[in-house]
Amino acid sequence: MEKFYITTAIDYVNGAPHIGHAYEKILTDVIYRHFTQRCDKTYFLTGTDEHGIKIQKTSKENNMSEKDFCDMNAQKFKDAWKALNIDYTKFIRTTDEAHEKVVQKIFKKLLDKGDIYKHSYTGLYCSGCEAFLSEKDLTEDGLCPDHQKKPEVVSEENYFFRLTKYKDAIIKHIKINPDFIVPSYRANEVLNQLENIEDISVSRSKSNVSWNIPVLGDDEQGIYVWIDALSNYITALGYDPDGSSDLFEDFWPADVQVIGKDILKFHSIYWLGILMALDLPLPKHILAHGWITIDQTKMSKSLGNVISPTSIMEAFNLEISDPLRYYMASAAPCGKDGNYSDEDFKEKVNAHLANSMGNLLNRTLSMLVKYFEGNIKPEFLGKNELAQAAIDTVKAVKHHFDYYEVTEAAQKIIELVDITNKYVTDNAPWTLAKEGNIEKCGEVLTNVLEVMCVITSLIYPFCPNIAQKMAEQLSFDINIKLDDLTCSNIKAGHLIDKENIKPVFLRMDSELADKGSKK
């Protein structure tokens, strides 16, 4: 692959980040790290959405200016992503001056082209969605289905984008590109929404919403969320109607844009219409992930079950984010909803990362030291009975990531761990050593360590810290590209001393890991 560009939805800074935000960022980061193992030019964009009526109201309630309020909460998101080891290339804020200026140019270009026009309008506005809804979007009780509140009737003269002009082109694109929306079964949902699509409001009256980007030449209007927020995916790369940067030319279109299923309509319809109006290529894929419930219950402030990712790490005294990253990234099949529970988190992480993978490496290296003083003899190499299973797993993991099936990829990695554990049990190197079959014992241990190098490379996107520890003990180059990965990574000679063998991950219920009682 020549390049890989991935984006997340930008988070609204009306509150602090919660586990739902974290799920999307972890999922995206795992995909991004995998593709850094397959190509040289990669870019990962995330950020925050900072304009609108909710920011205007909440900042006032907190006796803060809108900008100060945004600064405070944007930093909370940055801090959370740092704690989770999210390796983004750029963090964009829609209050960035460079973004605001280009958004104004985009608006003017579409206005001059005739794709934006002014129109008096009365509609049902949901402040939670920051969107106008039609009656067919509401529940039987006339409520917003996402926020369970009745939208207010708003009458304004706003600017509208001619989305209907691009309706047929959007339908055609979705139909001739069945893999455009991931998972593909959501395409019918979008096509149904397109049947009755209308032009959309892309400005708000400054008298009603003052916290936004001003429309050039019209002091009474401010640019609304669709042109503002959605454009971040191209402004971050240096797109400019007057002449874009080399970065934009290198990376656009996006290879995949990762979003929650609740905003699929805006990204697969509104965003495509805007890009078509700008004569820009469309993203290759839109990945709509599911939601994360807490103990099988949807997160809700009223229920008090909204939890932050950093609070989970604190509760379990986790010094690294790898356990939470692994658990969340493998929480749900592609596009489906997932669930978080403390007990399941602990059980799954202990089983996969500590008992199966970590213990496999630890005991194999320990036997190598015990029987061979940490040395790999030349005669131990080149007879790996596990090589085919390892290489087949690499192919399978790459295939799953090609379709953004992250949970399925994780399952394949753990299957290889299980196969290797079974190989150790079946061959019993401790028995071989006791019986004097030293060469076969050395072969078995070396075969396992070869596979552990492959596992190290494959688990890296999920668990970068643990993978680094594994690589150090194996003297393995973790930066090797997946296309160059073989099952011949272990070299003859001294590999490791006893004092350098350390568990790469301790069970979360062990005395050493807990360092005392849970908070």
Q: How confident is the model at residue 383 (pLDDT cuts 50, 70, 90)?
A: confident
- The predicted model gives 437-443 an average pLDDT of 96
- The predicted model gives 341-370 an average pLDDT of 96
DSSP 208-244: T--SSEEETTEEEEEE-HHHHHHTHHHHTTT--TT--
Q: CATH second-level architecture of 342-514? A: Orthogonal Bundle (1.10)
Tell me the C-alpha distance between 18 and 447, whole Å. Answer: 43
Task: Answer yes or no: 334 catalytic.
Answer: no
pLDDT of residue 122: 82
Q: How confident is the model at residue 518 (pLDDT cuts 50, 70, 90)?
A: very low
Task: Answer yes or no: 129 catalytic.
Answer: yes
> What beta strand segments (E) does 83-115 contain?
90-93
* pLDDT (tens digit per residue) in 256-288: 999 999 999 999 999 999 999 999 999 999 999
* pLDDT (tens digit per residue) in 55-77: 999 999 999 999 999 999 999 99
Residue 514 has pLDDT above 60, yes or no: no
* pLDDT (tens digit per residue) in 243-259: 999 999 999 999 999 99
Contact 202, 224 (CB under 8 A): yes
Out of 82, 113, 147, 149, pick the active-site residue: 147
Tokens read off for 144: 């917003």
Give me the residue label for tokens 């839109």: 286
Q: Which runs of consecutive H residues, i.e. helices, occur in 231-300?
A: 232-235, 246-251, 264-265, 271-277
- The predicted model gives 184-205 an average pLDDT of 95
pTM of the model: 0.93
Closest CA to 506 of 467, 457, 466, 476: 466
Out of 82, 113, 119, 298, pick the active-site residue: 298
Out of 70, 126, 334, 441, pick the active-site residue: 126
Residue 166 has pLDDT above 90, yes or no: yes
Out of 144, 334, 441, 487, pick the active-site residue: 144
Tell me the C-alpha distance between 10 and 21, whole Å. Answer: 10
Task: Answer yes or no: 453 catalytic.
Answer: no
Residue 153 has pLDDT above 80, yes or no: yes
Task: Answer yes or no: 441 catalytic.
Answer: no
Task: Answer yes or no: 39 catalytic.
Answer: no
Task: Answer yes or no: 172 catalytic.
Answer: no
Task: Answer yes or no: 70 catalytic.
Answer: no
Task: Answer yes or no: 285 catalytic.
Answer: no
Residue 503 has pLDDT above 90, yes or no: yes
Tokens read off for 70: 């945004």
Residue 511 has pLDDT above 70, yes or no: no
